[in-house]
Structure 1
C-alpha cells in the first residue's frame, strides 16, 4: 500500500533523466563508447553498410544495366553517412514508427536521398538481395571493432603500461609474501605487480588478434535470391570482397545470421582481462589495508561521512563492482549469442543491445583502477618492518642449503625440514636466534657465511630481474 509521501511525490518519468548509471552518473567516463555502441551509432553503421553495398554493386556492374558511379556520386552517397546526426536519428524514428522495422527504416531513409544525388534510378539497389541480418551483422561488427580498437583497447593498454611502470619502479623493493595469508618466502613489490601486468598483457594480445567476422548472403545464407535474380554473377566473390572491403573477415558459411562465435571469443577474452584486473583490485586493496601502500589524499575529498581520518580505497572497490557487472553481461552474451534456433531466432537482437553496457562497465572499471593507482605511494618502511618481524621465512633457505650440503657429503645434515619446523612453526624467530641456529649446524664455511649474510629483505631470489620479462 502506498504512503502519503508516495502519493505526493512528483513523478520524474517525463523528465530526460538517465535510468542507468552509465548514462547518468558515469556518463563522462564511458562517453567515447557512444559513438560506436549506441543505438544511434548502430543506425549510422547500418546506413554506412547499405551505402557501401550499393556502391559495391555498381562499381562491379554486378547487375545488368548498372555501371560504376561517378566520383561525385560516390562522395554524395557517403555524405549521407558522414552527415548522420541527431536530426537523422529523429527522422529514422519517424520512419520506423510507420514500418515497425528498424532496418527497413534505414532503407527508406537512404531512398529519400537518392533523388538529390541524381541516382533515383538506383533505389531498387538499396538493400538488394539482403535480409536484415546481412546489414545488422556487419553493422555490429563495425561498431564493436571500432569500440575495441579506438576506445576500450587503448584505455586497457594505457592501464597495463601504468602497472608496468609501477612494477619497474618498485622492482627492488623487498616485500613479504603471503601464501594462504601467512608469511612466506619474500619477493619484491615490483615482481608481484609484474605478474599482474604480464597476465593482463597476454589477454590484450589475444584481444588485439580478434577476427571480426561478417556475412552478406541472403535470407538463409544460400544466395538464393541473388542467383534467382542475377544467375551469371559470382555472388560468393561479390560477398567476400564486400565484407573484406569493410575491414572485416568474411564468413562463408552461415544460416540467416552470422553465427556470433567471434563475439563470444572476444567477450571471453575481455571477461578474463576483467577477472585478472579484479584480482589486482583485491590484492592492492589488501596491501592498502596492511599499510604497504599509502593513499595520497585528494584535497577537499571526504573519505568517510563520520570518520574524518579515513581515506577509503573506493576506486578499487568501485572497479570490482563494475568488473563483476561487466562480466555478468559478457558471460551472458557469450553464452546466448552462439545459439540460434534452426536458421534464425531473435534472441540475439535483444542481447546485442547490451554490448555497450558490458563494455561501459569494463571501461569505467579501467578508469577507476588507473585513478586509484595514481594516488598510491609505496610505504617502504612498512614493508621493511614486516620483513624484519618475520625471520622465520628463512627456514626454507636454511633447510634447502642443508639438503645441498648433505648431497655434497657434509655430515650432520639429517632431517633438515623437521629441524626447521621445530625451530619456526608457531613462533616468531628473530635475527639473533636464526643466526645462532645457523652457526650450530656444522655447515661448510662457504654455506654458513652465505646463510649468515641472508636477511628476509635479501631472500627474494631473482625477483627484481624477473620484471625484465615485461620488456619482451
Structure 2
C-alpha cells in the first residue's frame, strides 16, 4: 500500500497533513539530511579559511560557489541519492560524506580537498549541529502560529474589555469581572512563554569523539580548536557549548520543549474555559453552511475546534515531556538511545501546530452573548456581599463578614433584599448611596482597564 494522506499511520501526515506541511522540510528525513549536508559543507569551508591548515588552501570563488550551491539547491532527489548510498554503508552520516565527495570530484580544486570532508568529526558533531539548525527553523515556524494564537486571544480581550461577566470560583458565583479581562489573563500568560521561547539558547559542539579535540590536536596541535569551533558554531546561528562528551547533552532541547509545553498547557486551560463558556451560553458559535454537529441531533453546534485543540495539545505535551526527560540522560560518554528519540523532534511541534490552527479556527467563530451574560449577573446579587461587608469594615461596623454570611450564604438574594440590607446599616448616607448604586454588572473593579492596557 502506497503512502498517502489516507494510508499514513499518523494523522500528523494523514488527516492533518495540510496543517503540518510547513514542518515537513524541517523535521522530515529529508530535512535532517539537508541539515547534515549544510553542516558538512560549512565545516569544510571553515577549515579552508583557517590560515594554519596549509594543506587546505582557501577555496576560490568558483569552488566556494559550487559548495554553496550544493546546500542551496539540495533537493529530494539528492536526499534519495544519499539514502541509496546508506543502503551500502548502513551509516547515515557516512553516506552524506560520500555523497559530498562524489559531488566534489567533478571539480579539480575540490577534488584535492576530499579528505578534509568530515575532518576530525564524529557523527554526533554533524548530527547535533543539524538538530540545532532544524530546531532553529522549526522554532520560527511554530512561533509564527503561536503568536497568532496569542494575538487572537488579545483581540478578544480588547473587543470585550467592558463586557461584564459573572466570575466563578470553585464553580460558584464570585465577584464579577469582564469577559475581556479573562481573555487578557490568558494572552499575558502566553506572551510570557513566547518571550522565554526566544531566550532558549540553541547549543552546538564540534569537538570530536569524546569532546576533547583529540584528533584535531593530534593533527594540528598549534591550532586553537576551541576558538575555531566557537566561531564556526556561531556562524551557523547557534551558541557554543564548551563542555560535552561525544554528544551535546541536549539540555537546551529539554528547555525548549518545556517552554512549548507551558505555552500548550496554558492553551489547554483556555480551551477548557471557552468550552465551558460556550456550554453556559456566554459565547455563541457562528454556524458554517454545510457543517454537521451531530449525526442524529440536527440542532447541535459543538465546540469541536477547542476539543480538537485540547486533544492535540495533550499529545504534543506527552511527546515533548518524554523527550525533555529522556534526552539529557546518556550512559557514560554516549549511548544511542537519544538517536531514535531525536528523530521525533518534529512530532511534538506538529501536534502543537495542529492544535494552534484548531484554536484559531474556534476563536474566529466566537460571538459573545451579552444577553446571557447579563442574565447571570442579574441573578447573582449575592456577589454584592463582598463590597458591602468591605465598606462596613471601613466604618467600624462590628462583624461585617459574619453578618453578610448569615444574610447571603445558601440563599437566593434579590436586588431589593440587598438594598434593604444596606438601608439599615449605620454608616454615612453617601456610602449607602454608593453601595446602592452598584450592581453586579458595574462591580468589576479595574477589569476593563486591565483588559485595554494588555
Q: Report TM bin, short chain.
A: over 0.9
The aligned counterpart of 1:387 is: 377
* Alpha-carbon shift at residue 117 of structure 1 (Å): 3.1
The aligned counterpart of 1:374 is: 364
Aligned residues: 451
The aligned counterpart of 1:125 is: 116
Please tell me whether the aligned partners of residues 137 and 257 of structure 1 are also in contact (alpha carbons under 8 angstroms): yes
Q: State how far apart, in whole Å, the 2-side matches of 1:289 and 1:15 are.
A: 40
The aligned counterpart of 1:448 is: 432
Please tell me whether the aligned partners of residues 23 and 346 of structure 2 are also in contact (alpha carbons under 8 angstroms): yes
Find out whether 1:85 has 2:69 as its counterpart. Answer: no
The aligned counterpart of 2:210 is: 220
The aligned counterpart of 2:131 is: 140
The aligned counterpart of 2:27 is: 37
SS of 2:311's equivalent in the other structure is helix
Q: State how far apart, in whole Å, the 2-side matches of 1:318 and 1:114 are.
A: 49
- TM-score, L = length of structure 1: 0.94
* Alpha-carbon shift at residue 34 of structure 1 (Å): 0.9
The aligned counterpart of 2:446 is: 462
Please tell me whether the aligned partners of residues 294 and 376 of structure 1 are also in contact (alpha carbons under 8 angstroms): yes
Find out whether 1:71 has 2:43 as its counterpart. Answer: no
Judged with a 3 Å threshold, the aligned counterparts in structure 2 of structure 1 residues 110 and 227 are, in CA distance, closer, same or farther, namely: same
* Alpha-carbon shift at residue 62 of structure 1 (Å): 4.1
User: In the TM superposition, what are the counterparts of 1:149-160 in structure 2 within 5 Å?
Assistant: 149=140, 151-160=141-150
CA offsets 1:349-400 (integer angstroms, 9 cap, x no match) = 0111111110000011010000000000000010011000000100011000
CA offsets 1:98-139 (integer angstroms, 9 cap, x no match) = 000000000001000002233111110100000000000000
Q: State how far apart, in whole Å, the 2-side matches of 1:451 and 1:62 are.
A: 83
The partner residue of 1:347 within 318, 337, 359 is 337
Please tell me whether the aligned partners of residues 177 and 187 of structure 1 are also in contact (alpha carbons under 8 angstroms): yes
Please tell me whether the aligned partners of residues 157 and 452 of structure 2 are also in contact (alpha carbons under 8 angstroms): no
Please tell me whether the aligned partners of residues 77 and 117 of structure 1 are also in contact (alpha carbons under 8 angstroms): no
CA offsets 1:200-239 (integer angstroms, 9 cap, x no match) = 1101100011100000000000100001111121111111
The aligned counterpart of 1:325 is: 315
The aligned counterpart of 1:310 is: 300
* Alpha-carbon shift at residue 328 of structure 1 (Å): 0.3
SS of 1:349's equivalent in the other structure is helix
* Alpha-carbon shift at residue 468 of structure 1 (Å): 3.9
Judged with a 3 Å threshold, the aligned counterparts in structure 2 of structure 1 residues 62 and 130 are, in CA distance, closer, same or farther, namely: farther
Please tell me whether the aligned partners of residues 161 and 452 of structure 2 are also in contact (alpha carbons under 8 angstroms): no
Please tell me whether the aligned partners of residues 29 and 367 of structure 1 are also in contact (alpha carbons under 8 angstroms): yes
Judged with a 3 Å threshold, the aligned counterparts in structure 2 of structure 1 residues 15 and 37 are, in CA distance, closer, same or farther, namely: closer
The partner residue of 1:274 within 254, 261, 264 is 264
Structure 1 unaligned spans of 5+: 1-12, 407-412
Q: State how far apart, in whole Å, the 2-side matches of 1:15 and 1:216 are.
A: 37
Q: State how far apart, in whole Å, the 2-side matches of 1:238 and 1:251 are.
A: 13
* Alpha-carbon shift at residue 442 of structure 1 (Å): 2.1
* Alpha-carbon shift at residue 14 of structure 1 (Å): 5.0
Q: State how far apart, in whole Å, the 2-side matches of 1:54 and 1:80 are.
A: 13
Q: State how far apart, in whole Å, the 2-side matches of 1:15 and 1:317 are.
A: 28
CA offsets 1:234-275 (integer angstroms, 9 cap, x no match) = 111111110011111000110000011111111111101000
Q: State how far apart, in whole Å, the 2-side matches of 1:464 and 1:186 are.
A: 11
The partner residue of 1:239 within 215, 226, 229 is 229
